[in-house]
Structure 1
Amino acid sequence: MRSNYLFTSESVSEGHPDKVADQISDAIVDLFLSKDPEARIACETLTTTQLVVLAGEIRCKGVYENDAWVDGAEDEIERAVRETVKRIGYEQDGFHWEQFTFHNKLHGQSAHIAQGVDASGNKDEGAGDQGIMFGFACDETPDLMPATLYYSHKILERMAADRHSGAAPFLEPDAKSQVTLRFENGEPVAATAIVVSTQHGKGYDQGDNEAELKAYVKKVVADILPAALLSDETVYHINPTGSFEIGGPDGDAGLTGRKIIVDTYGGAAPHGGGAFSGKDPTKVDRSAAYISRYLAKNIVAAGLARRCTIQLAYAIGVSEPLSLYVDTHGTGTVGDAEIEKAIMSISDLGGLTPRGIRTHLGLNKPIYARTAAYGHFGRKPEGDFFPWEKTDLADRLKAALAS
């Protein structure tokens, strides 16, 4: 593992067109799970100029039954979509929450997928798809996330909060950030480059208005990053194209699942390739990625390692994972194989089956819309939300390894 290097991660705001699509898809997941905790949802969203399209497969009591929509269900779906866009803040000529054309192309789940996933007789619930999923944690930040991604998210969260509160009325919803840090002996010691591109009101690419916007962004960065990381040598690229008035779905089409590295670890860890948003928790692309993060975070929180990567693998329709792999990157206090055995010895985890994961983390709830911007990981657990960010397994892992 290298000790001295530069590393970069990016984030995108809630108004980025792909993130608009993710938030719409997860609003549909929450809507359906609020009606039926056993709902099956695979909802993809396309956004572009004054258009939103939903596509995918669903099964949900009280919403879609006997291959038909229940009365009023389609209107409720459209309301959820428009309310999501309204909350983000799009009231522009090219994309307005009240004016865009909406098409709902969701339809019933494939019977052949259902028969593999559903429990029946002596068969336990199977994984909703095949694939590999990764979890990661490191001790670079209090939330045990890679520092480059952590700060990239926080910059845009602050800007969005200021936009919504009216503290920065010149900001529009679409934005991107990027943070490059220099690491020495594996520790972040300096921010070498900060990139922020934000959609802005008319005229904020000129004269005093432009200066105000750039000064504001630098103030946000100074508030978010530790002062020790910033210096006169930090290079800022703020709206480097010059103008950014046309943005969001009007500036570029958005699709669910195109920001999977932003959603996870900013490139600091592998990714299995499956997106999260728009999927119910029987889809292991989502639930197994969450349990992998939970396990990795608890391993680091327990002091068993400074960095930890976990991989899980599944086959569609099969309940047991095909493999569990732990890599502490040479930072572990015990062997990686011993940690693997300790994980599988904790009965509450249900052998890391899809049902075991959903039960342990309480995933059959409408808790997903909050995940769809500013990362699925490194968030504060609160009530039913972000249960995979809890560190309540740390002591039990240590006890399992001590026995």
Structure 2
Amino acid sequence: MIEKVNPSHPDKIADRIAGAIVDLAYQEENNPKIAVEVLIGHGICHVIIETSAALSFEEVRKAIKRIAGDVKQDIVVVPQDEELAGNQAEGIRCGDNGIFKGLPLTDEQLKLSKIVRGLYEKYPTDGKFILEGERLIICQSHAKTDELKDLYPFAQINPLGDWTGGTDVDTGATNRKLGSDMADSVTGGGLHGKDLSKADVSINIHSFLKAQQTGETVELVCAIGDEEVDGLPYSEIVEEARDFVNQLGGFEKIAEWGLF
């Protein structure tokens, strides 16, 4: 079984804002150090940014407005801790401790991802979905149940009735929908709002991609400062993740749907 949410779900709006801010850092530096946390809901967006890059407040505000609309913005920017920054002073090394498990995607997971993406083209508003065997549950805001029944006559649709959704109904926070983003893969941290030196980004991506290539479960562990993980230089894993992120269109883009 698998749950998937679309890019207009409040948690994904938070992930997308965090990703957009990381994208801004990469416009300033090739290898910035940045971590972003976002909490949004009911007309206010709180953002905390730890960064080595000199970000433009104006560009950060524009990114939040573009993704979340006219919300009150509470932004805190602080430099990265000097001692932690020293870990990367002489080259790219693992930026955090972590445990990771990558698993091959199932046909069920791929099927739901295709359904949700197709629905989002027609209904680009808050939605969350579950597929368990033949049971499809569709919770789609701003869509009439009868319309959805025509598309998916055997689905369970909007069990509590039509609903509005969005950040005026619920709050969103970064990295709260990792099951949607990574399927059965497991991480001790979060995928979004961080630079590529962070294991939570690069080793998660490496584990996921290796699992798809081999068809087998991949289990890895790392410590902050590691120069090698999974028999590879950590810098190689970072470049693999950079290529993957760039192919998807950046950190904001990967935040929309996660890894699949």
TM-score (normalised: structure 2): 0.91
Q: Does 1:240 align with 2:233?
A: no
Give the ranges of 4+ consecutive aligned residues of structure 1 lying more than 6 Å apart after TM superposition. Answer: none
Aligned partner of 2:175 among 250, 257, 260: 257
1:207-286 aligned within 5 A: 210-216=145-151, 218=152, 236-245=155-164, 247-265=165-183, 267=184, 269=185, 271-286=186-201
Write the letter of the residue equivalent to 2:177.
K
Partners of 1:156 and 1:313 in 2: CA distance:
32
Q: Which digits, 9 at most, give the CA deviation of each residue in 1:20-66, with x for residues without a partner? A: 10011001111110221111110011110111111131111xx25xx
- Comparing both chains, which one has the higher relative contact order based on Cα–Cα distances under 8 Å and sequence gaps of 6 or more? 2
Partners of 1:356 and 1:213 in 2: CA distance:
45
Structure 1 residue matching 2:131: 3-state secondary structure = strand
Is this contact kept in 2: 1:43–1:106, CA < 8 A? no
Partners of 1:75 and 1:352 in 2: CA distance:
37
Write the letter of the residue equivalent to 1:54.
V
Q: Which digits, 9 at most, give the CA deviation of each residue in 1:361-399, with x for residues without a partner? A: 44586722111122313xxxxxxxxxxxxxxxxxxxxxx
Unaligned 5+ segments in structure 1 are: 1-7, 65-72, 86-96, 138-144, 165-172, 182-190, 205-209, 220-233, 301-307, 325-343, 345-350, 378-403
Q: Which has the larger radius of gyration?
A: 1
TM-score (normalised: structure 1): 0.60
Structure 1 residue matching 2:208: 3-state secondary structure = helix
Structure 2 residue matching 1:45: 3-state secondary structure = strand
The answer for the alignment partner of 1:176 in structure 2 is 128
Structure 1 residue matching 2:30: 3-state secondary structure = coil
Say if 1:359 and 1:13 are closer, same or farther in 2 by CA, change over 3 A. Answer: closer
The answer for the alignment partner of 2:225 in structure 1 is 317
Q: Which digits, 9 at most, give the CA deviation of each residue in 1:101-144, with x for residues without a partner? A: 0111121111121112x132xxx43211101122222xxxxxxx
Is this contact kept in 1: 2:201–2:241, CA < 8 A? no
**Sequence identity (%):** 27
Partners of 1:211 and 1:105 in 2: CA distance:
45
The answer for the alignment partner of 1:108 in structure 2 is 79
Structure 1 residue matching 2:187: 3-state secondary structure = coil
User: How many pairs align?
Assistant: 257
Q: Shift of the alpha carbon at 1:163?
A: 3.0
Unaligned 5+ segments in structure 2 are: none
Is this contact kept in 1: 2:206–2:240, CA < 8 A? no
The answer for the alignment partner of 2:12 in structure 1 is 19
Q: Does 1:149 align with 2:32?
A: no
Q: Which digits, 9 at most, give the CA deviation of each residue in 1:54-83, with x for residues without a partner? A: 1131111xx25xxxxxxxx10111111212
Is this contact kept in 2: 1:127–1:317, CA < 8 A? yes
Q: Which digits, 9 at most, give the CA deviation of each residue in 1:234-290, with x for residues without a partner? A: 5x3100012312x1111111000001111112x3x4x12211110110001110111
Superposed CA RMSD? 2.0
